[in-house]
């Protein structure tokens, strides 16, 4: 039962993360107003909380519940998935700092740096690849022998 619950929470958090990231990408522009800055900070916070749940559930599935850790550790598809997840997390840091710093801005208009917009779009690309790798892992792709 715990396995099913953790997998469900993992999937649910991934859906919340995806929704929040899509909202950020739809709302981000070269210039945003004060209200947009506050709303984007909230959405980014939701994105961050969902990421923490994804990581916690993923670690639980990897190390304690379900298949033995060796099933994952020796799979290059899993290693690639973890690598892309790490890149996604690192890519999310700069936009998160930007949104956090400007969540209570008093400026009417705020210029959004190009790297923030680029990284948000880059995260979407990674988010398209990571579930594909998860699907491949569940089908046994990458397992030798």
In a domain, 145, yes or no: no
Domain total in the chain:
1
Output the pLDDT for position 50.
98
Q: Are 102 and 39 in contact (CB under 8 A)?
A: no
3-state secondary structure of 88: helix
Using CB atoms within 10 Å of the CB of residue 135, give its burial: 0 to 12 exposed, 13 to 18 middle, 19+ buried.
exposed
Per DSSP, 75 falls in state -
112 phi-psi bin (left φ>0, alpha ψ -120 to 50, beta other): beta
Give the structural domain span for 33: 2-138
Report pLDDT digits (tens) over 45-94. 999 999 999 999 999 999 999 788 888 888 999 999 999 999 999 999 99
Report pLDDT digits (tens) over 67-76. 888 888 889 9
In a domain, 143, yes or no: no
3-state secondary structure of 29: coil
In a domain, 144, yes or no: no
3-state secondary structure of 96: helix
Helical segments of the chain, H only: 2-27, 34-63, 69-73, 76-101, 114-138
């Amino acid at each position: 039962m715990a396995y099913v619950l953790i997998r469900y929470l993992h999937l649910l958090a991934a859906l919340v993360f995806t929704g929040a990231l899509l909202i950020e990408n739809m709302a981000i522009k070269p210039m945003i107003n004060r209200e947009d800055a506050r709303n984007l900070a909230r959405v980014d916070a939701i994105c961050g909380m969902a990421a923490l749940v994804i990581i916690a559930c993923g670690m639980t599935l990897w190390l304690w519940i379900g298949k033995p850790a060796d099933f994952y550790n020796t799979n290059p598809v899993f290693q690639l998935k973890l690598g892309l997840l790490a890149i996604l997390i690192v890519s999310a840091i700069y936009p998160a700092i930007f949104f956090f710093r400007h969540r209570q801005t008093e400026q009417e208009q705020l210029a959004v740096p190009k790297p923030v917009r680029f990284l948000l779009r880059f995260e979407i690309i990674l988010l398209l690849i990571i579930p594909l790798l998860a699907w491949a892992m569940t089908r046994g792709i990458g397992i030798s022998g």
